[in-house]
Amino acid sequence: MRSLPILALLVVLGGCVAPSKPPPRPAPRPVPIQTPTPAPAPVPLSSDWRDWPFTPGDWVYRQDGRGSVAQFGVPGTDAVLALRCDRDSGAIRLSRSGTAVGAVPMTIRTSTVMRTLNTTATGGTPAALAVSINARDSLLDAIGFSRGRFVVQQPGLPTLVLPAWAEILRVTEDCRR
């Protein structure tokens, strides 16, 4: 029973202890400023155009009252390039979407030929630049038989890297008959 008075004394002395200080507040965290993620830099093109990625889209061939036409583009949008046979003149009208003032050189690269042609604005909707090529011109064969792809380049417009599919030669052969 001796321990009871000692225990009571300890309880009384424990109540005399000053209350502990509250823990310090944490330092405010800086609020991060959200900045838009920059678009990835375009992958630089290799020096060899035969390694460049294809322009998105597909070729479509059809015939109408004026002859045949092969168009390249993304389905549901305007074609980015078209080859149309004009049977009356025996020429292929090559046109690409875009606008320019005056004659704008169009360079066509194939695995065997590189040629620059002068185009003119067609003034239609959608706006396009076009050139007429004789249906018997070897450039059309070079485009159709190019090893997998050919390129259409014009100043101020995106470079088109297009697959050399059969639709090109179908339009060419339609015009040569």
Residues 76-113: tens digit of each pLDDT: 999 999 999 998 889 999 999 988 766 789 999 999 99
Give the model's confidence band at 43: pLDDT under 50 very low, under 70 low, under 90 confident, else very high: low
Q: What share of the chain is helix, strand, coil (3-state, %, to 5)?
A: 20, 30, 50
SS3 state at 172: helix
Whole-model pTM above 0.85? no
pLDDT of the residue at 26: 78
What is d(CA 29, CA 44) in angstroms, rounded to the nearest whole number?
41
Q: Which of 176, 161, 164 is nearest to 52 (CA)?
A: 161
* Mean local confidence (pLDDT), 36-41: 67
* pLDDT tops 70 at residue 40: no
Which one has a higher pLDDT value, 17 or 100? Answer: 100
* Mean local confidence (pLDDT), 20-27: 77
* pLDDT tops 70 at residue 15: no
Q: What domains are there in the chain, each with its CATH number? A: 59-176 (2.60.40)
* pLDDT tops 90 at residue 4: no
Cα 37–Cα 43–Cα 48 angle in degrees, nearest 5: 175
* Mean local confidence (pLDDT), 138-150: 96
% the chain with pLDDT above 90: 54
CA 51, distance to chain mean position in Å, is 15
